[in-house]
Chains A and B, each alone.
Chain A
Amino acid sequence: MSVNTSAAAIPPPLDPEQRRRQARQVRLGRLDLKASPYLYVAPFFVLFAVFGFFPLIYTGWVSMRDWGLIKGDQGFVGFENFAEVLADANFWNAMFNTFGIFIVSTVPQLLLALMLANWLNRKLRFRTALRMGILLPNITSVAAVGIVFGFIFADRYGLANWILQSLSLDPVSWRGSRFASWTAISFMVDWRWTGYNSLIYLAAMQAIPRDLYESASLDGASPARQFWQITVPLIQPTILFTVIISTIGGMQLFTEPLMFNYGAAGSGSGLENFQTIAMYIYSTTFENNFKYGVGSAMSWLLFMLIILFALINFLMVRRSLKGSDK
């Protein structure tokens, strides 16, 4: 802006050399104004293109080919890989597990996060320390956590079963049934992500004007009622945001069930009870037959599924925002 005005303000009598220089400066200035912003955001897009977009497209291309790591690329096969995946009972079993663990872990996790955030939103001693504290599980290494939880949920000499037995309950075979393994894995997931979601909720709650609560108190609304009728409706968009993030994370769940199975993605007793789709993709692609094509097809199916979920979530967010306009 300033370049244009200053250029226009200079009086006309100039020799051609000066004029040329000036014209060049104007052009450079315009270029600067137009191009610089793009240049500043470029690093993200360049990185995304290299590490996000290119692998996505490349995976799509590989998914149409008969490609194994050892035998190499055997040519184009169209949608054969997808057909193979869709007819594979193990794939659907992994899908079922992924959804099951997602539901069993996310619902209590978000509820607990809401409660925690509400609690941290009050006037407490050591408030900052507590708020920082609940994020600690999130910054510890997943693998380390997984190993520790592997010990806790060991079948015979595990801590969890020891506690159950000292309460004179029957020990649980943690990998022996769907529900037991889903519960154990959900513990790991929730341990890690509840604090993170709490902090997001807390930030949203702090944006709610205090006077709403004051007038509600004057009208005689109990704290519980204030929570459900003021806090929750007002942070609804944030709740939907956490649901989207949890969905994406839940669909890609890998490390926790992997560590629960002591590091093996494709083998182990009771694995069929809790093998997630990401584990199945890994074991198809990087173990056993090294089927790149089939693994890529699975990855694409997972990608499309996540997009579908994100879209549903997006539509829900739009509807809820419209609703709050009324």
Chain B
Amino acid sequence: MSVPRRRLRGIAAAALAAGMVLSAAACSASDGDDSSEGGQSTVTLQYFGSPGFDKAVADFQAANPDIKVDAQNMGELKDFTPKLNQWLATGQGAGDVVMLEEGTLLGYLETPDKWANLLDLGAASLEADFLPYKWANGFTSDKSKLVGLGTDIGGLAMCYRTDLFQKAGLPTDRAEVSKLWPTWQEYAATGKRFKQSDAVKDVAFIDTATAIMQPYIMQNSKTWFYDTNNNYIADTNPVVKEAWNFGLQMAADGLTGKLQRWQPDWNAAFANAAFATVPCPAWMTGSIAERAGDAGKGKWDIATIPGGSGNWGGSYLAIPEQSKKKEAAYKLLTYLTGKDGELSSYAEKGNMPSNVKALDDPAFQTSKNEYFSNAPTGEIFGASAKNLQPIYLGPKHQGIWENHFETEMRNAEQGKKTSDEAWAKAVADGKKLADG
């Protein structure tokens, strides 16, 4: 009896030990460099969200048979960011071409040694191809190094509901509506006119007061939370406070919907026709159509944004310094940010080009949006992007805006705090984040 059991134990122990050795070996086995099979070099592209690269990558591979592209979808931006940071810190793991959101790009510019200088790879000649603000924001603060080239941008327009405008006795034609608000003051005045009508008593004029900050500040200032030396100036930059006060005044006048974007209430508000206008970047038209549904089709239209220009969102492509295939990576990067690449991304996902040649192309210029009463989207969004002036955003812009100023402004809008309390907290918490 005892012998077989003992043997069994022995076998079990051996198996266990072998298993451990095996798994340890599997852990330590290094990923060999398999990039050069059959004379092909593999370039890894890492992106987040839905940039619509599928067709562009296929076209690129067809044109460059010696380069194979391994396109990796890294999920959402917030999932990708910590991973990328880790790869940059450890010096391995990052792709040869990586996509950076314009808000987070600024943080990466603080560690320029982690990135390849695109000027060294021949990007200097491309300056005229890009919108000036997009080109300028790809540089480090001393302008010596170009880290990223622009993919898409979010040119701003004003989406509005024609049925609600009609009920309130306002014009509905997009050209006439655009004439109602050449400036933000006139936009607010239109809102007051809108609210005088009893037919739209329960409808807000704009979804949230925070939505006016981005276009308002970009139109009126060259800086936002940082000066060009990366000093924190949120508390002293007069335009920031001016935009804050303007937005909250609209809230006090009962014009705003006090909603938080991308949350269930905001989604439901579309279906309930709870607000009449929403400042919308090009990429948001799809989100609006999705939320307002079939019932809203043809009831939406697009006018120009007050102040004439604006941008919300957009991304860059960059090459990490750790990449061993910078030449091939640069080819891919310039293709994706070139005219053809950006146009196929526009066709695929509606991402608006930052490349001027693509913006001027008839494929973009003549595009219309059926859902929005056939509004000439290419023309409207293109115009708002071309008028954009460069603005310096600084390293932690996105976090300061999203986590502190936007949040606190909404607290004030919703009446949870007074404007002064919210402002003081936003300034203090923003400074803490900036000081890091």
Query: Which residues of A come within 8 Å of B, CB atoms?
Result: 2-3, 6, 29, 32, 36, 39, 42-43, 46, 68-72, 150-151, 154-158, 173, 176, 262, 266-271, 283, 286-291
Contacts and interface: CB of A to CB of B under 8 A. Distances in A.
Contacts of A72: 89
B89 A262 contact: no
B265 A154 contact: yes
B13 A151 contact: no
B265 A289 contact: no
Interface stretch (B297-305, B306-314, B396-404): B396-404
Lowest 6 A-B CB distances belong to which pairs?
A157-B268, A267-B403, A2-B2, A289-B436, A69-B85, A154-B264
Interface in B378-403: 396, 399, 402-403
Nearest to B76: A263
B170 interface: no
Given A46-B20, A267-B402, A267-B403, A156 B85 contact: no
Interface stretch (B29-37, B361-369, B410-418): B410-418
A158 B264 contact: yes
The CB with the most chain A CB atoms within 10 A, among B78, B89, B436, is that of B89
Interface of B: 1-2, 6, 9-10, 13, 16, 20, 78, 82, 85-86, 88-89, 107-108, 110-111, 259-260, 262-265, 268-269, 272, 396, 399, 402-404, 406-407, 410-411, 414, 416, 433, 436
A69 B396 contact: no
Contact of B13 (A36, A155, A176, A266): A36
A268 B407 contact: yes
Contacts, number: 87
A6 B3 CA distance: 11
8 contacts: A70-B85, A70-B88, A154-B264, A158-B264, A176-B416, A288-B399, A289-B433, A289-B436
B414 A29 contact: no
B407 A267 contact: yes
Contacts of A291: 436
B264 A39 contact: no
Contact of B416 (A154, A270, A288): A270
Given A69-B86, A157-B268, 16 more contacts: A2-B2, A29-B6, A32-B10, A36-B13, A39-B16, A70-B108, A151-B264, A154-B265, A156-B269, A157-B272, A262-B263, A269-B414, A270-B416, A287-B78, A287-B399, A288-B433
Nearest to A68: B436
Nearest to A156: B265
A157 B2 contact: no
A262 B262 contact: yes
B410 A269 contact: yes
Nearest to A176: B416
Contact of B89 (A3, A69, A151, A269): A69
A287 B2 CA distance: 59
Contacts of B110: 70
A265 to B, nearest CB: 9
B85 A157 contact: no
Contact of B403 (A68, A270, A288): A288
B208 to A, nearest CB: 10
A70 B85 CA distance: 6
Contact of B82 (A32, A43, A69, A289): A69
A173 B411 CA distance: 12
A267 B262 CA distance: 13
B88 A43 contact: no
Nearest to A2: B2
Contacts of B265: 154-158
Given A39-B16, A69-B89, A176-B416, A269 B269 contact: no
A32 B9 contact: yes
A72 B10 CA distance: 47
A266 B403 contact: yes
Contacts of B396: 288-289
A300 B407 CA distance: 29
A68 B396 CA distance: 14
Nearest to B210: A269
Contacts of A151: 264
A288 B404 CA distance: 11
A157 B264 contact: yes
B269 A157 contact: yes
A60 B287 CA distance: 45
A151 B263 CA distance: 9
A269 B85 contact: no
Contacts of A157: 264-265, 268-269, 272
A287 B103 CA distance: 13
B264 A269 contact: no
B197 to A, nearest CB: 22
Given A43-B16, A154-B263, A157-B269, A3 B2 contact: yes
Contacts of B259: 156
A311 B158 CA distance: 60
Contacts of A288: 396, 399, 403, 433
A39 B18 CA distance: 13
Nearest to A289: B436
Contacts of A267: 402-404, 406-407
Nearest to B435: A289
Contacts of B88: 70
A269 B425 CA distance: 13
Contacts of A29: 6
B256 to A, nearest CB: 13
